């Protein structure tokens, strides 16, 4: 007998299904993404939703899915979910911030080498029967200046591995980040563009980053530089990139993400970068290795399992982060509420009035949202539940154990 139900979309690794099944959670797996209306229909009776980067979880979807209690993004990005609308309904969202870091780093370095050696053109020429053994335009990456825009989990690891290959690393980040190895921090994006012979983007998907790279930035880059985007499609004006490639100012590019990506593998795809020389186009596969997907499946599924069974919100991207050790024989209350003074006192007064002894309790806040995990020695009778739910600050109440 299943206790809960999870819906997993977009070919999430089967290890996630194993984690859920072992925890008594029924799983439905579907291969592709779902449009808004189809997603609302599919979420009827579903407690946990797992997606990758294509499915859009809007406020409309969330408002129409009262049974939904948590969402897992089986990837790094979470901009496909309305995080504010989710937490306003007491729905924490989890992702995998570390699991596919190495996969992306390896692909970036592989593509830099391919572009620097102009292997895309050599490959096409030889397939066409042309034996062009010239070294013209081919370069080693050793000693080249790599500019990394965004020095988070991926950017910083790329910095270390690129330096091991002999590259000279520069980076720019809006936050104050510790430089690793011999990497040099740039005070501005313009400073990085002036020096870098290869520029690669690794920034997050916040709305303020939209349009980060356009004609002005490409024009500022060094002549015959390389450009890579394995971050977010809406960061870059690809028409401007195509113009810079056609003029020869940019010598080569690799792009893994696009503003509008097909929801299924048979969807139509079009880009101004198609059929240009020395351009690598990949269908958002930066983190798509078997090793990364297996680890993502395990990691995010475990986060969702721990939330449903323990109320743990550690590494949630939108909810207060709490972990309270759970002792057998206790009864746990998890309580999302608006963050106003006196809520915890009101909750505890209700429990005290009904003779419930509090054995453990943690409170966390994040902006306008508060989250309390409370362990009591007695099961909560319905009148206690009703009294807590009647508090004006209540968002969502769950009983565990």
Active site residues: 232, 261, 284
As to burial, measured by CB atoms within 10 angstroms (0-12 exposed, 13-18 middle, 19+ buried), residue 367 is exposed
β-bridge partners, 39: none
Query: Would strands 358-366 and 369-376 be described as parallel, antiparallel, or unpaired?
Result: antiparallel
What value, to the nearest 5°, has the Cα angle with vertex 257 and ends 253 and 263?
A: 145
* Degrees, nearest 5: CA angle 10-13-19: 120
- Contact in structure between 76 and 100 (CB atoms under 8 Å): yes
> Residue 107 has which token pair?
């692909």
Question: 338: which 2 tokens?
Answer: 């608006």
The two structure tokens encoding residue 291 = 């090793």
**Which value, to the nearest 10 degrees, does the dihedral of the CA atoms of residues 71, 75, 81, 84 take?**
80
Residue 130: Cβ within 10 Å count: 10
> Which pair of structure tokens corresponds to residue 80?
């496909």
């Amino acid at each position: 007998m299943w206790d809960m139900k999870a819906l997993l979309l977009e070919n999430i690794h089967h290890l996630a299904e194993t984690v859920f099944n072992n925890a008594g959670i029924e799983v439905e797996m579907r291969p592709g993404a779902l449009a808004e209306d189809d997603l609302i229909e599919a979420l009827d009776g579903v407690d946990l939703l797992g997606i990758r980067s294509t499915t859009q979880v809007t406020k409309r979807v969330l408002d129409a899915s009262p049974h939904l209690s948590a969402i897992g993004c089986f990837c790094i990005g979470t901009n496909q979910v309305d995080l504010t609308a989710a937490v306003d309904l007491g729905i924490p969202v989890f992702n995998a911030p570390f699991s596919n870091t190495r996969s992306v780093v390896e692909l970036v370095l592989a593509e830099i080498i391919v572009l620097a050696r102009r292997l895309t053109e050599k490959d096409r020429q030889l397939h066409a029967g042309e034996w062009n053994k010239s070294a013209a335009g081919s370069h080693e990456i050793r000693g080249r200046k790599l500019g990394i825009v965004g020095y988070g989990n991926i950017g910083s690891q790329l910095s270390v591995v690129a330096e091991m290959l002999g590259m000279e690393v520069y980076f720019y980040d809006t936050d104050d980040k510790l430089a690793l190895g011999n990497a040099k921090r740039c005070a501005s994006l313009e400073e990085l563009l002036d020096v870098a012979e290869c520029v690669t983007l690794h920034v997050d998907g916040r709305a303020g980053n939209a349009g980060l790279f356009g004609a002005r930035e490409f024009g500022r880059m060094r002549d015959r530089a390389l450009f890579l985007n394995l971050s977010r499609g809406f960061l870059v004006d690809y028409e401007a990139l195509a113009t810079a490639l056609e003029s020869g100012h940019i010598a080569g590019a690799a792009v893994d993400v696009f503003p509008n990506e097909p929801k299924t593998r048979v969807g139509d795809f079009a880009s101004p970068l198609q059929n240009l020389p020395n351009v690598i186009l990949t269908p958002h596969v930066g983190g798509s290795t078997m090793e990364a997907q297996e680890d993502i499946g395990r990691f995010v599924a475990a986060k969702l399992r721990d939330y449903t069974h323990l109320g743990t919100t550690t590494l949630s991207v939108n909810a207060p982060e709490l972990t309270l050790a759970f002792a057998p024989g206790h009864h746990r209350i998890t309580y999302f509420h608006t963050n106003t003074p006196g809520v915890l006192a009101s909750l505890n007064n209700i429990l005290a009035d009904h003779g419930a002894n509090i054995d453990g309790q943690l409170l966390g806040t994040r902006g306008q949202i508060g989250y309390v995990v409370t362990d009591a020695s007695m099961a909560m009778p319905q009148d206690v539940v009703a009294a807590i739910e009647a508090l004006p600050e209540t968002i969502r109440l769950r009983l565990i154990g």
